[in-house]
Amino acid sequence: MAPEQLAALLRRSLRHYIPDSKLPGRDALAARFDVPPRVAAAALQLLADEGLIRVVPRRESVVLDPAARQGRPFRRVVALSPFIPRLNSFQQSILRGADRQCRARGLKLDDFAHDVDLSRADLLDAIAGQEDPTRIGWMFVNHIPPDQSLLHWRIRSIPLVLVDDRSPTQPTNSVCFDVQRVIYEATRTLMMLGHVRIGYAGDLRHQDAISTDRRRGFELALASGGLEARADWLFHDDSGTHEEPRRLLVREMPSHTELTALVAADVKIGSGAMQAAAELGIAVPDRLSIVAGGSTPREPLPLADRLSRFDQGSPELLGSAAVDVLANAFEHPEPVQIMLGANWLDVGSVGPPSGPIG
């Protein structure tokens, strides 16, 4: 057995040791694994070079506290997306950005655990079974595990970052889009132009936290100007396709001619709003201003190129930023939470109010 092979076996066993406990000495290891003492000594030195143990001459080696291993580089990044059947386009884009940044830093990106039936215990076992989980950057892609016990990895100095549409509720490394702020700024833009009768077209197909954050951004913006979010001015799409927002708004807009502006939760819904206005003969922005938040979709959408929006950019930015967070994980012992903003793209679908749309 080569020193590297013995070191790999010992490295896996370290997860069973607490800090300051003792590993068997050179001679005991040589006897246990039936290797020459020089091989056992070389394997221990490899672990010491990695900062995992402290070799004490002629005595048992001491297992170091993970907090004492700061500054050690990791070799690769593993992107995890467990408990889902397959990656969607958003997650695939995150991985493209992470892969590009890994290559720029000389790291290798691995991707696994796309298994909706994978239990959390199995996942933890798979991670613990890696050669040295503290020398791997672990990135959860678009999934914040509800099992908060996963956050104990930080205590063990295992580099971890969560990548999602929104910030996690627990303190840990994370990179996300600030979806609430995007809708807030979109609404405030309309208010600064003089609009006070503003509707909101949202997406509650999953009743998820992201949808709640977006709507909250709309409500906070209105409140900042002394306005209220009227229930009859809130239009909700439950389809996830751009045809249904169009049909919904074609049906609802004629009953709300007092509106002068509309905030769309994302570009797909904004595209539906633009189509609905065109079908109803409502001039944009002369009679109705429309603004959206969110990222530009990969697939072309009708009239989206004429839709003013706060563009969050490609989700690849999330993957790239996540790798940067991991690369500096040991230098920053406190959790790093990055919320990416958005750029204002005005392509002509907003303007000052000129009167109700009817």
Which amino acid type is present at position 196? V
Fold match between 76-176+316-340 and 179-312? yes
Rounded-to-integer distance, Cα 42 and Cα 3, Å: 6
**DSSP strands (E only) in 166-247:** 174-177, 198-203, 234-237
Q: Calculate the dihedral angle through the C-alpha atoms of 68, 147, 323, 300, rounding to the nearest 10 degrees.
A: -170
| CATH fold for the domain made of 76-176+316-340 | Rossmann fold (3.40.50)
Angle at 145 between CA 323 and CA 153, to 5 degrees: 60
CA-to-CA dists, residue 15 to 163, 198, 255, angstroms: 26, 57, 64
Separate counts of helices (H) and strands (E) for the chain: 11, 14
Our CA angle for 140, 142, 145, nearest 5°, is 60
CATH of 179-312, one of 3.40.50.2300, 3.40.47.10, 2.40.170.20, 1.10.3720.10: 3.40.50.2300
Amino acid identity at 36: P
Distance (Å, rounded) from C-alpha 30 to C-alpha 51?
Answer: 22
Instruction: Pull the structure tokens for residue 10.
Output: 């010992």
3-64 topology per CATH: Arc Repressor Mutant, subunit A (1.10.10)
Kindly state the tokens that stand for 252: 């609802």
pLDDT in tens, 74-131: 667 878 776 566 677 778 888 899 999 988 877 788 765 554 455 555 565 656 555 5
- Displacement of CA 133 from its chain's centroid (Å): 21
For the chain, domain boundaries: 3-64, 76-176+316-340, 179-312
pLDDT at 108: 82
Rounded to an integer, what is the distance from CA 252 to the centroid of its chain?
34
Q: Tens-of-pLDDT digits for all 358 residues of the chain? A: 888 888 888 877 776 666 667 778 888 888 888 899 899 888 888 887 766 777 776 667 766 555 444 444 566 787 877 656 667 777 888 889 999 998 887 778 876 555 445 555 556 565 655 555 556 777 878 655 545 445 445 444 567 788 876 666 666 788 888 888 899 999 999 999 999 999 999 875 545 677 888 899 999 999 999 998 898 899 876 555 555 788 888 888 888 889 999 999 989 899 999 999 999 999 999 999 999 998 777 678 899 999 999 988 788 888 899 888 887 765 565 777 888 878 898 888 999 998 655 4
Reply yes or no: is the peptide bond before residue 245 cis, omega within 30 of 0.
Answer: no
Within a 13 Å sphere around the CA of 98, how many CA atoms are in the beta-carbon half? 32
How many Cβ atoms sit within 10 Å of the Cβ of residue 110? 12
Q: What is the model's pLDDT at position 69?
A: 47
